[in-house]
Amino acid sequence: MAFLCKWCSYTGADLAGTSRMEYKPNVHAIRVMCSGRIEPTFVLKAFRQGADGVLICGCHPGDCHYQEGNYKCLRRFHLLKRYVKQMGIEPERIKLEWISASEGKQYAELVNSFTQTITELGPCHIKETMEVLT
Amino acid sequence: MAEEKQKIKMAVYWGAACGGCCVSVLDVHEALFDVVAAADLVFWPIALDTKYQDVEDMPDGFIDLTLYNGAVRNSENEHIAKLLRQKSKILVAYGSCSHMGGIPGLANFSTKEEIFDRVYHDTESTINTERVVPQPEFEVAEGVLELPVFYNDVRTLADVVEVDYFMPGCPPQTARLVEVFTAIVTGAELPPPGSVIGAGDKAQCDECSRKKTENKGVKKFYRPWEVVDDGETCFLEQGILCMGPATRTGCDFRCIQGNAPCRGCYGPTPDSTDPGAKMMSAIASVIDEKEPVAIDKVLDDLVDPAGYFYRYSLPSSYIRRKMS
């Protein structure tokens, strides 16, 4: 699952597509207006519904269309990583990267490397664990 | 001459609870006489010598109002929850534990095995050389003895039965109970089933009397004992964690009036599905740092983020237990 900000990262992913770059098809991208819009709830809900990893991309620091949204995202990300670690979930399953509108190539490489990380970690069992009360 | 008013039948039960919710019912003080005048208490283990058999003998739907407090921790809690559901017209999850799991829900950070090991083997004061642990069934000469089965996961009341209303709080404010009780007794129109009652819809911060400025920026968090609270500035602005941004109103600010930060017992606001996640959002917003290293340094002050943000709500959250 990937949450991409509309102004930079989604445009970057679009560039990867229009440039016909090949990358792993494992990522399901969701466009949001700003990385600052991505609430921890979104990430937790994605895991609860069966995602094995969550990728968050926003504009580079200083380049946010809304000035400060990506910093907010960065702080949430750092806090969220601590929380998931406490819950016994590998923090590597969440990744934050800055992708600008011109970085289609970097986006494709990021998707490949993140897919590789998740493949090595194996499937995430949050969904099954949460569905059954023991 | 008006007919004598029909009394309603009422039950109060505790599952995995501390007893505080039952005491909050007693806290109506002299109004207890009005309660007794309007309601027959047919089952209330903390105060009356009624037995489970008495409840089993009641016809279905016999009880008008049941306040179930406490989480569902073992098979006995679940059995009585199902029994009371069957016997009650209105079933209310009363208090944080039945609403969201509450303090007993923090046990979801451990497994059943870890809890049993700690309690029956590892505590410093335990000598258990034969490694005896409670068994749900044990045969003796006279027959089979039974104990409730201890579950691995703490459940909320809604996890095991259909709940009509949720009344949050640890414990719910007695004034809210009187309001809800009066509404039911007088036959006032009730909200749709599944609603949270006896609480506001706004966040604590929206109605808090502490002084807030627009310039929120925290560079260090403190434990409450590390700073001298000035008694009037927003706790978060003083760097003290407060669950106000992610918690409903309804408690009359009892903690904040007592100069203690909000702990979140009233649960999430209506727009939020996961109280802890909402709180993480709010905390990340007030941190006044932009560099990863500096952010991590501020976050080091939060000793136990998961335990703090989900203090009352772990079993009702998206990730409702620690993964093993």
- pLDDT digits 0-9 by tens, B105-116: 999 999 999 999
- What is the ipTM, given to two decimal places? 0.87
Mean pLDDT score, B144-153: 95
Mean pLDDT score, A38-43: 92
Interchain proximity B305–A39, CB inside 8 Å: no
**B159 touching A (Cβ < 8 Å):** yes
What are the start-end ranges of the E strands in B185-261?
Answer: 195-196
pTM over 0.90, yes/no:
no
Which pLDDT belongs to residue A33? 93
**B288 touching A (Cβ < 8 Å):** no
B155 beta partners: B72
With a cut of 90, say whether residue B34 has pLDDT above it. no
Look at the block and give the residue holding tokens 């590597």.
A92
**A98 touching B (Cβ < 8 Å):** no
With a cut of 90, say whether residue A52 has pLDDT above it. yes
Mean pLDDT score, B36-49: 90
User: What percentage of chain B exceeds 70 in pLDDT?
Assistant: 98
**B278 touching A (Cβ < 8 Å):** yes
- Residues 6 or more apart whose CB falls under 8 angstroms from that of B306 comprise A83, A86, A87, B109, B276, B314
The tokens for B55 are 């409840």
**A87 touching B (Cβ < 8 Å):** yes
Q: How many CB pairs under 8 A join A and B?
A: 94
With a cut of 60, say whether residue A75 has pLDDT above it. yes
How high is the mean pLDDT of chain B? 91
Check residue B227 and report its DSSP letter.
Answer: S
Mean pLDDT score, B57-70: 94
Mean pLDDT score, B186-207: 90
Q: Which of B85, B21, B74 is nearest to B47 (CA)?
A: B21
Task: Give CA A80 to chain center in angstroms.
Answer: 12
Interchain proximity A44–B274, CB inside 8 Å: yes
With a cut of 80, say whether residue A44 has pLDDT above it. yes
Mean pLDDT score, A80-103: 93
Task: For chain B, positions 110-139, list CB contacts with chain A under 8 A.
Answer: none
Distance from CA of B5 to the nearest CA of A (A): 44
Matching CATH number, A2-131, of 2.20.25, 3.40.630, 3.30.70, 3.40.50: 3.40.50
User: What percentage of chain A exceeds 90 in pLDDT?
Assistant: 53
Interchain proximity A75–B289, CB inside 8 Å: yes
For B153, which residue in chain A has the nearest alpha carbon? A134
Interchain proximity A40–B285, CB inside 8 Å: no
Interchain proximity B323–A87, CB inside 8 Å: yes
Domains and CATH numbers, chain B: 8-103+153-196 (3.40.50.700), 110-151 (no CATH), 204-316 (no CATH)
With a cut of 70, say whether residue B5 has pLDDT above it. no
Mean pLDDT score, B188-204: 90
Cβ atoms of B164 and B183 within 8 Å: the answer is: no
With a cut of 90, say whether residue B42 has pLDDT above it. yes
**A50 touching B (Cβ < 8 Å):** no
With a cut of 50, say whether residue A10 has pLDDT above it. yes
Which pLDDT belongs to residue B69? 95
Interchain proximity A130–B320, CB inside 8 Å: yes
Residue A46 binned pLDDT confidence (cut-offs 50, 70, 90):
very high
Cβ atoms of B248 and B266 within 8 Å: the answer is: yes
With a cut of 70, say whether residue B4 has pLDDT above it. no
B301-311 as b/e, with b when 16 or more CB fall inside 10 Å?
ebeebbebbbb
How high is the mean pLDDT of chain A? 90
Which pLDDT belongs to residue B1? 44
Distance from CA of A72 to the nearest CA of B (A): 6
**B254 touching A (Cβ < 8 Å):** no
Residue B44 binned pLDDT confidence (cut-offs 50, 70, 90):
very high
- Which chain A positions have a beta carbon within 8 Å of B299's beta carbon? 78-79, 82
Burial (0-12, 13-18, 19+ Cβ within 10 Å), B283: buried
Q: Which of A39, A75, A80 to mutate to test the interface with B (most CBs of B within 10 A)?
A: A75
Residue B281 vs residues A78, B162, B172, B201, B222: alpha-carbon distances, Å:
11, 31, 26, 19, 19
Interchain proximity B278–A39, CB inside 8 Å: yes
With a cut of 80, say whether residue A45 has pLDDT above it. yes
Residue B187 binned pLDDT confidence (cut-offs 50, 70, 90):
confident
- Which chain A positions have a beta carbon within 8 Å of B319's beta carbon? 44, 47-48, 84, 87, 89, 126, 130
Mean pLDDT score, B236-265: 93
Burial (0-12, 13-18, 19+ Cβ within 10 Å), B84: buried
